[in-house]
Amino acid sequence: MSNSFDLFRTTEEHDMLRDAVRSLAEAKIAPFAAEVDEQGRFPSEALEALQGNDLHAVHVPEEYGGAGADALATVIVIEEVARVCASSSLIPAVNKLGSLPVQLSGSEELKAKYLGALARGEGMFSYCLSEPEAGSDAAGMKTRAVRDGDFWVLNGVKRWITNAGVSEFYTVMAVTDPEKRSRGISAFVVEKGDEGVSFGAPEKKLGIKGSPTREVYFDNVRIPADRMIGAEGTGFATAMKTLDHTRVTIAAQAIGIAQGALDYAKGYVQERKQFGKAIAEFQGVQFMLADMAMKLEAARQLTYAAAAKSQRTDGDLTFFGAAAKCFASDVAMEITTDAVQLLGGYGYTRDYPVERMMRDAKITQIYEGTNQVQRIVMARNLP
């Protein structure tokens, strides 16, 4: 046995990053989490803190002015922010989701322009795939892009767009050839300021209330042809490839939320006394905490393994990304529900953070592909 055995543990740098993000999140983000949820307002304090410390989009490569963080480091940033405020964790998470299509498939000019602007904190990046009639069946989208000389003209509606309205930049998937279904879809960068772009009313959601979710409308939006990401007809493939990587970030969010709930419950049961002793001394309570910690650790190990695969773009990333997202989010739902249970009546009130965590956890089972879709993806890509 030797302490120099470096498999199955994070590097010293990753641990230092976790310490740094945790202190920042506890000092600058956590104090506003309840208010952000209660008022359903954007966590501007979190955006400022993350941008001020270059943590808002750590995945952007150094050559485009970013921090150049690997996929595991990005996961750690999202996890630690989600531990105190799930809404705020959508800042680094959606910045990766929105910009990864550009990073994976965009031209050098497009990367320099938009990844640079994202890294400099000039604007956030959202991802527009879903539509009112095209959710799990994303290829059934109706948003159209029609070529007009050196321009493309976009028309249509995108739904469930995270951070819509507050983001400056949008990756938009649109049909360029209706005959070819998924191979007739192309991806574009659209800017908030482009004429014809507008937003619907914010959705009234169960959780992640601090992160606006809105429809995005494209009404004859005319954009230069060089805003197309990759070649014509490759948009759907880019969108799916992006999700292989970013499902890992949803898993990160899920384990962060679950860790926040477990940490809170662990503290509470040692303080709360019934029948003359701390409820932590009851074996029934201990068994619940043991199960929660066991599930969380299993989810974390799977997520970190998937993050490593994302960084290396391993051939089995599709399975691992879906598995990590699905497992971590199911586990987060269980752990946050159990945390509420451990706090009893108090847990059910907004005076304690665990009910918020339980509501926030639910979305991780739904977005970036429902967990039913994840199981389809896994079944088609069994290792």
Strand (E) positions, the chain?
125-128, 144-148, 151-162, 169-175, 185-191, 197-199, 213-224, 228-229, 273-274, 277-278
Candidates 29, 33, 36, 55; binder of another protein (CB under 8 A) is: 55
Buried b vs exposed e over 293-303: b needs ≥16 C-beta within 10 Å?
eebbeebbebb
Q: Give the shortest CB-95-to-another protein separation in angstroms.
A: 14
Stretch that binds another protein, among 64-72, 222-230, 272-280, 346-354 (CB under 8 A): 64-72
> Please, which residue, 23 or 198, has the CB nearer to another protein?
23
The answer to whether residue 69 forms part of the interface with another protein (CB under 8 A) is: yes
Phi/psi region, residue 141 (left: phi>0; alpha: psi -120 to 50; beta: rest), is beta
Q: Rule CB under 8 A: say whether 373 interacts with another protein.
A: no
Q: Which residues belong to the active site?
A: 368
Q: Which is nearer to another protein, 29 or 124 (CB)?
A: 29
Shorter beta-carbon distance to another protein: residue 51 or 341: 51
Candidates 69-77, 238-246, 342-350, 368-376: pick the segment binding another protein (CB under 8 A). 69-77
Bridge partners, residue 127, by sequence: 171
Span near another protein by CB under 8 A; candidates 63-71, 149-157, 175-183, 270-278: 63-71
Of the residues 10, 51, 53, 370, which one makes contact with another protein according to CB under 8 A: 53
By beta-carbon proximity to another protein, the closer residue of 23 and 220 is 23
* Binding of another protein by 54 (CB under 8 A): yes
6-25 positions binding another protein, by CB under 8 A: 12-13, 16-17, 20-21, 23-24
How many residues touch another protein under the rule CB under 8 A: the total is 18
Alpha-carbon Rg for the chain, nearest whole angstrom, is 21
DSSP letters, 74-132, are HHHHHHHHHHH-HHHHHHHHHHHHHHHHHHHH--HHHIIIIIHHHHTTS--EEEE--BT
For residues 72 and 378, which CB has a smaller minimum distance to another protein in the complex? 72
Within its chain, how far is the Cα of 28 from the centroid?
20
Pairing mode of beta strands 125-128, 169-175: parallel
| Contact flags string 73-112 toward another protein, x per CB under 8 A | x---x-----------------------------------
Among 40, 68, 165, 233, binds another protein (CB under 8 A): 68
Burial of 40 (0-12, 13-18, 19+ CB in 10 A): middle
Report strand pairing: 273-274 vs 277-278: antiparallel
Q: Is 58 in the site for another protein (CB under 8 A)?
A: yes
Query: Rounded to an integer, what distance in angstroms lies between the CA atom of residue 200 and that of residue 190?
Result: 17
- If one asks whether residue 340 binds another protein (CB under 8 A), the answer comes out as no
Contacts with 36 (C-beta within 8 Å, 6 or more apart), sequence order: 42, 43, 46, 85, 87, 88, 209, 210
Site membership for another protein, residue 278 (CB under 8 A) = no
- Residues contacting residue 375 through CB under 8 Å, at least 6 positions apart: 322, 326
CB of 30 to another protein, least distance (A): 14
Per CB under 8 A, residues contacting another protein are 12-13, 16-17, 20-21, 23-24, 53-55, 58, 62, 67-69, 73, 77
